[in-house]
A and B are shown apart, each in its own frame.
Chain A
Amino acid sequence: MKIQLRYFASLREALGPGEALELPDGTTLGALRDLLVARGGRHAEILARPRPVRCALAQTMADESTPIADGAEVAFFPPVTGG
């Protein structure tokens, strides 16, 4: 399946705005994070646990256990600090 990955704030500065990715069906948000960490380099440094990273699926906050749907927009970003 194809997904669109986006980064925000400190993750965007380190990794860029995001990328289109091809993933196995049923990949969860956590498994996607693992795949990115496995690339090594900046991705590993920025996304490795226990660094605080939050995720959104289809522009809604989601747990890492959530499976990604085909065509979905996925986002990784640091804890939010608005208000």
Chain B
Amino acid sequence: MARVTIQSGDFDLGAEVAALRAGDAGVGAVATFIGTVRDRNGGSSVSAMELEHYPGMTEKAIERMIDAAMSRFDIRGARVVHRVGPLNPTDQIVLVAVTSAHRGQAFQACEFLMDYLKTQAPFWKKESTPDGARWVDARVADDEALARWGLRAGNAG
């Protein structure tokens, strides 16, 4: 099964988790994260969002992040699905799912992958607001989140 999928369509959490842990009786824990589109950002209302990526590089970058998670944590599998193209408030954007024998490593690897993805995977969000469309600014807090894992982001800062 592919570990990384970039797609315009929606994804189904239940189906993704079922596929990730299918046939692996060593799995005792599944941790998942889903990011969704908010209707507000930076004090403005957001009516729609457009997500751009770098085809080829985006997939490779996330594959390397999963390799890093597999070597850093005692996990059995990982799956990342990220949507691109036009999205609306409440839509799902990203799924990270991790399986492991016990919960601790699954929780940690799931957060590690999200922190890594936020600052190192080439995606860009453009929001539609009442003042027009604007590209979303990178957040220093996301660089700091990756620094907790001993990795330098160098994205926003």
Contact = CB atoms under 8 A, between A and B. Distances in A.
B35 A77 contact: no
Interface string A69-82: 00000010111111
Interface string A21-58: 00000000000000000000000000000001010100
A36 to B, nearest CB: 19
B119 interface: yes
Contacts of A61: 61, 120
Contacts of A60: 57, 60-61
The 10 tightest CB contacts between A and B, nearest first, are A82-B123, A79-B138, A9-B124, A59-B57, A83-B118, A81-B136, A79-B155, A81-B125, A10-B135, A83-B117
Given A9-B52, A9-B135, A80 B121 contact: yes
A55 B121 CA distance: 12
27 contacts: A8-B52, A8-B122, A9-B52, A9-B124, A9-B126, A9-B135, A12-B52, A56-B54, A56-B122, A59-B56, A59-B57, A60-B57, A60-B61, A61-B61, A61-B120, A80-B122, A80-B123, A80-B124, A81-B135, A81-B136, A81-B138, A82-B53, A82-B82, A82-B124, A83-B35, A83-B82, A83-B117
A79 B121 CA distance: 10
Interface residues of B: mostly helix, strand, loop or mixed? Answer: mixed
B54 A75 contact: yes
Interface of B: 35, 51-54, 56-57, 60-61, 82, 93-94, 114, 117-126, 135-138, 154-156
Contacts, number: 79
Nearest to B120: A61
Interface string A7-20: 01110100000000
Contact of B117 (A9, A10, A59, A82): A82
A83 B94 contact: yes
A83 B81 CA distance: 10
A59 B125 CA distance: 19
A80 B120 contact: yes
A83 B53 CA distance: 11
Nearest to B50: A9
Most buried by A among B57, B82, B118: B57
